[in-house]
Amino acid sequence: MSRAATPFARLGLLAALTVAGAGAASAAPVVIEFRDGVITPQVVEIAAGEPAELLIRNTGTSAGEFESKALKKETVVGPGKEMTVKLPALPAGDYAFVDEFHERQDSARGTVTVK
């Protein structure tokens, strides 16, 4: 490579890295609180066609279990702990989930709405 082409080559590389890096940044996780059979919020929204993360934070005194047959995800979260549930890009729709350890309570049911 000639000395004259070097600055342009560097500029092209910088532009390529900037474009590649722009898509690499992901949205902040959606926080869902579990507290002894109460889920807050009970409805969360994520963007269609983009991967997403749910941060399940258990602020209660008993364990909770995030379970969604629709999303094919399940994880136990101890009291005072948090877990991340990674979701692939999903089509628009509603995906039910529950705190399975407290599933008899209406307050232990939720929905991930993909728009």
Q: For residue range 52-96, list pLDDT tens digits in order.
A: 999 999 999 999 999 999 999 999 999 999 999 999 999 999 999
Long-range contacts of 109-113 (CB under 8 A, 24+ apart): 109/39, 109/42, 110/32, 110/39, 110/41, 110/42, 110/43, 110/44, 111/42, 111/43, 111/44, 112/44, 112/45, 112/46, 112/54, 112/68, 112/71, 112/87, 113/43, 113/44, 113/45, 113/46
Tokens for 36, please give them.
């002894």
Domain 27-114 in this protein, CATH class = mainly beta
State the pTM of this model: 0.77
Mean pLDDT of the chain: 86
Residue 46: pLDDT over 70: yes
Q: What's the token pair of residue 61?
A: 């005194």
